[in-house]
Amino acid sequence: MVLEGSNVVTNKKGEHLVIDLGSIDTQSLLNEGDKRIYTNKLSAREMDALTALCDTIIPAVDPPETATDECVIKFYKTSASITGCPEHIGRLISHRLRHHVFLLRFFFLMLSTRLGTFVFGGIHSLSPCFPFVFKFSQLPLEKQQRLILSLSNSCFFLYRWAFVGVRLLILLAFYTQVDDNDENPSWKAIGYCGPDPEFKPRKQNESNQPIGYLTPKPSHNSPNAVTQKQGQEHSKEDLYGPLYKGIININNPQDILVKYLRRPGLHVSLNRKKKSNNYQNPLLTIQCDVVVVGSGSGGGLVAGVLASEGYKVLVLEKGDYCARKNLSLLEGPTLDQMYEGAGLLTTRDLGVMILAGSTVGGGSAINWSASIRTPPHVIREWANDHELEIFDSPLFKEALDVICEKMEVQSEISDEGFNNAVLRKGCLELGYPVVNIPRNAPADHYCGWCCLGCKDGRKKGTCETWLKDVIDSGNGAILTGCKVEKVLYERKQGRNRDTAKGVVFKLKTGDLCVVKAKATIVACGALNTPALLKKSGLKNPNIGKNLHLHPVVMAWGYFPDKEPLSTLLSDEGKVWPEKEKKSYEGGIMTAMSTVVADFNGSGYGAVIQTPSLHPGIYSAIMPWTSGSNMKDRMTKFSRTAHIFALARDVGSGNISKSPFDITYNLHSSDEANLKKGIEKMLRILAGAGAEEIGTHHKSGASINVKKVSCHEFEKFVKKESSKAIQGLSTPIASAHQMGSCRMGIDPRTSVVNQMGESWEVEGLYLADSSVFPTALGVNPMVTIQAISYCTSQSVLEYLKRKKKR
């Protein structure tokens, strides 16, 4: 028996071999995980300034006298330009940076001239020697560093902006770039192993196997035939991921694209006559029951529910499919392939660094496993204050139960990672509340690379649950690399409301394609959904407003792995903290403190949790005061614990027609809550036994807890927790975006009703975090899915009504 999509050949021994080409396109799945290659379009003058800036931020310096390890000595003596970092950054700016490109290139051009260097550097650009004023690359290192540091403290916002932007780009690029062997010359010196050691050898072994797996063709009478087939299916799923049967890459040739789309029963017609740049005469027309734009926690769930009910569903995802052994688990390539804006997304003023998924599975593919139910005080607020009865309904309670069961959510921990162990220990020492975080991963899931994709499917994100239902049902497909241009709708005669008709997307050739559907689900996330609705011509003034970001600030504590260690003991009686543990290993989120959350009061405070920080992002948010100081900090990377305060924000922002044009205002009450969080975090780190503690404020202040008095410690904590956060003084991050198309009972103040349906367009539903009425205050994945589950039931009712008409 030969499966569809397979070819039969004969080897030299005369045996029949089956080359399984995959149910869809396994070769393209492998290619989706490849590292991308870009060209550098910066001019010679721009590169002159950029190279000098790189070697200012990351210079070659003398190693400390205590350094004896050869790799550490080499690390100190290596500058950024030696590793090719300026060229790498030039390629990023030319192709991957989506905003601020003009200002950055202007800054480079200015520093490539003597006048421009004087404008930005003032006295730091002067010299007693002729010609008295030098361009930036001609200055000695000491003056270059003084000039750069003066920008961070300037009263001119543009100067501070230049410092933050350049520092972030250079440090992130230097510590994430890899060579042909997927290695970085700094990693060994800073105690970083790169990809998960348990993952790398398996990937190397798999890479030697032919695509499709050549295996002897079993006889249909063989008792092992079924077992062999199941084994092949399991091997392919392990290699390509659980969705390989239904993933279709948009870059396939047109005929193949049509063939693959027809397999799940979608109606497809191809217009071969001429190039199509008009959606009324598209190159490709696809008809289905439901089109879902976005495959994250919301879109994936709705697609899975509807496909399981027998409806024909097409999921459109602008990102690629990277899963299982097709992952790299490398920070730089993963940011480029699986994150919005290549991981370089910020607000317009650089005030908030934003991390958001842009891959099949959305945020659920790269999040940190936290699966927290909607807090009771939030449910009460949304149900009572916002009069949204859906949140106090049996359906919403059912949704929470169904979702947690689907994702196999549990709270047990077999072995806690370094950061979480520090948070828990510090809280217990001080008597602060600390709880286990429910996770969609098993108790023994000791993996610190989940932010770079799930290597084995043990984290039950959308790809392992709802999207798998789409494929297993045989009623749907997922089209990757597909960016939707607009939502289609029309107004029928005698109606006072438009009706959704589907969407338009564009091929790389520029040809337009149309998906016609009875119901349209937009689930692009809180950044892309409002941008798409605006581009589609919807006029609701609330679209793009009320964006909440869950602003985050961090504190750090250094725990040396050499004697003398702290005399504190762990619960198991071991010397604390265990020296074999590293900051980047272990479950990313297992512990949480609500010491400043105010759950029982206003509900607007801050929770304290732990982040996932690999070298690139770690370096980008640590304060830079000099090149040598930064290298000192990086050599402590693997034993520096981080914890963060996440505020349930009152402040909000806006999104324009571009998801990369984001403004955000941090409310004074949010800043106050974050400052309270900083104060508690510093105490927690000290209570856990840290030798040195500090924050990410630009001053770079820190204190050796073991060498100061109680009075000095209290003075430090008070001073650091009162420092400004806004104005680019302290890095603020966001991994949760919500509320930009909020749900409500009045079209004058909201975008969708309680069923998730647009007030403007019938049959157009939103199913993502953009519909949150307010900020949530905890990790949003479960709440996104719960709301989307309720919305899916509304869509089912809508489709049933359409069928009766």
Q: What's the burial of 437, exposed, middle or buried (CB within 10 Å: 0-12/13-18/19+)?
A: buried
On whether the CB atoms of residues 691 and 674 are closer than 8 A, the answer is: no
Cis ω before 131 (30° cut-off from 0): yes
Write out the H or E segment, with its range, that includes residue 803: helix 781-804
Contacts of 438 (CB under 8 A, 6+ apart): 370, 371, 372, 373, 404, 409, 410, 411
- 271 class by beta-carbon count within 10 Å (0-12 exposed, 13-18 middle, 19+ buried): middle
Bond from prior residue into 64 cis (ω within 30 degrees of 0)? no
Locus of tokens 């008792």: 223
> CA separation (Å) from 418 to 299, 559, 583, 612, 749?
34, 10, 5, 11, 45
Helix axes 44-57, 627-635, angle to 10 degrees: 60
- CB distance 482 to 493 below 8 Å: no
Query: Active-site residue among 124, 548, 614, 736?
Result: 736
**Which helix H or strand E contains 643, and what residues bound it?**
strand 640-647
Phi, psi (rounded to 5 degrees) for 166: -70, -45
d(CA 361, CA 321): 8
* CB neighbours of residue 622 within 10 Å: 25
Residue 435 class from Cβ within 10 Å (0-12 exposed, 13-18 middle, 19+ buried)? Answer: middle
Half-sphere exposure of 740 (CA within 13 A, CB side): 30
Total Cβ atoms within 10 A of residue 30: 16
Give the three-class secondary structure for 693: strand
100 is a catalytic site residue: no
Active site (catalytic) residues: 736
